[in-house]
Amino acid sequence: MTAYQKMTPAQLAQEVQVLREQYEVYKNKGLKLDLSRGKPDGDQLDLAMPMFGILKDQQDFLDETGFDCRNYGVLEGIPEARRLMGEILELEPDEVIVGGSSSLNLMHDCVGIGFLHGFPGGKGGWRKEETVKFLCPSPGYDRHFAVTEHFGFELIAVPMQSDGPDMDVVEELVKDAAVKGIWCVPKYQNPMGITFSDEVVRRMANLSPAAGDFRIFWDNAYAVHDLEPGKGDKLLNLMAELKKAGKPDMALFFTSTSKISFAGAGIAAVGGSAANIAWLKKHFGLQMISGDKINQLRHARYFKNMDGILSHMEKQAALLRPKFDAVLDALERELAPTGVASWTRPRGGYFIPLDVMDGCAKRTVALCKEAGVVMTGAGATFPYGNDPKDRNIRIAPTFAQTKDVEMAASLLCLCVRLACGEKLLQEAQLTEKTGA
């Protein structure tokens, strides 16, 4: 296969013709496949099933202090659950509040608290200010951006690099007092799959924002989600760096077991400094009595500690590796020779990021959809759903069965080639016509 950029217009026309025929064959297969969302599949979920046998008798429902988890109380979560989630977040148990089942909901609630009342160090609720801005390293997680959009904030895209957000840009932007926060998925970032470098974490911890209650929203959703156990990325501990910098209040930490135990039925946690935790407890106390402590207890008893979590995640990784390999093999085989796309091999997380030729992502995703393969909407990984270069595609291979991932990845590659081939052909024909 010749790289597309080196093909003559005639060769391109021929290639596009062949691809169209292959595409028609796929279309006639009546596929119904989905590589769109980072969901676990049934086999993964089966791994945590013994959890449901753990709480049986009345005595089983007492937490380690003897508190009956079937009753109201303990806003901050039971001690054993705070300890477990603290291990995942690398925070002390008293730096953690365990909430309901959704970390997204906790993030939403924290943004809501900032909006209504601000955070320690600030000047009160952000609602009183003309403009509130939030930094959105992009490509990033669409649901993060949507939360801050929902509150009417202005979303500022910050370029993602191979080692994290462009910190030169971030350092400059936080000089604006209207900038109240930044969304980060620091490990196996959604969708880039990269982990923030030590330097990025250190620069993050040493930011000097104009807003006294600027907060880093540190969503460590994939903290323990290595694809090759023991060979995973190491993320520097932001809280330790913040403490060194004398700025322990500058970040809020989030995680959940949605992609460890059960999606949407796990336990979620928010972490932070003593001042932040006190602030959150004060405000959470007005909206709820506590999270579901029975589910907290079930999780704490089942996983016990970090060793329990890690040995569980090894089993998940064994199920996930073939799916990631199926996609990466297809990309290598079908796209590498064409030179119209680039990607990275993540060492963990839920996504493989694919960059195609500028202006070809939307067309690729549309072609996939027409042939029965749903991809995350092109642009979704950018604020306002707008990828300025129209080139990023998020591949989520975890939910489908491996043979379906293989099929979907082959079709995806075909669609990338077709979209890019068409575009190059069009450009070549235009050049011929105008004689340029």
Residue numbers at the binding site for a second copy (CB under 8 A): 37, 39-40, 42, 45-46, 49, 52-53, 55-56, 58, 68-73, 100-102, 104-105, 108-109, 112, 116, 127, 143, 146-147, 150-152, 258, 262-265, 283, 286-295
Residue 412 CB, shortest distance to a second copy, in Å, is 22
- Closer residue to a second copy, CB minimum distance, 53 or 435: 53
Residue 291 CB, shortest distance to a second copy, in Å, is 7
Residue 135 CB, shortest distance to a second copy, in Å, is 19
Phi-psi bin for 32: left (phi > 0), alpha (psi -120 to 50), beta? beta
- Closer residue to a second copy, CB minimum distance, 120 or 151: 151
Contacts of 403 (CB under 8 A, 6+ apart): none
Phi-psi bin for 31: left (phi > 0), alpha (psi -120 to 50), beta? beta
Phi, psi of 71 (to 5 degrees): -120, 170
Residue 232 CB, shortest distance to a second copy, in Å, is 24
CA neighbours closer than 13 Å in the CB half-sphere of residue 408: 27
- Closer residue to a second copy, CB minimum distance, 240 or 294: 294
Within a 10 A sphere around the Cβ of 287, how many other Cβ atoms?
Answer: 9
Of residues 284, 91, 119, 149, the one with CA closest to residue 216: 119
Beta bridge partners of 133: 154, 179
Residue 404 CB, shortest distance to a second copy, in Å, is 16
CA–CA dist 338, 348 (Å, integer): 27
Residue 160 CB, shortest distance to a second copy, in Å, is 23
Contact (CB, 8 A) for 356 and 419: yes
- Closer residue to a second copy, CB minimum distance, 74 or 204: 74
Residue 431 CB, shortest distance to a second copy, in Å, is 45
Residue 73 CB, shortest distance to a second copy, in Å, is 7
CA–CA dist 266, 253 (Å, integer): 17
Contact (CB, 8 A) for 322 and 397: no
- Closer residue to a second copy, CB minimum distance, 202 or 301: 301
- Closer residue to a second copy, CB minimum distance, 102 or 195: 102
Residue 386 CB, shortest distance to a second copy, in Å, is 18
- Closer residue to a second copy, CB minimum distance, 82 or 417: 82
- Closer residue to a second copy, CB minimum distance, 37 or 369: 37
- Closer residue to a second copy, CB minimum distance, 91 or 375: 375
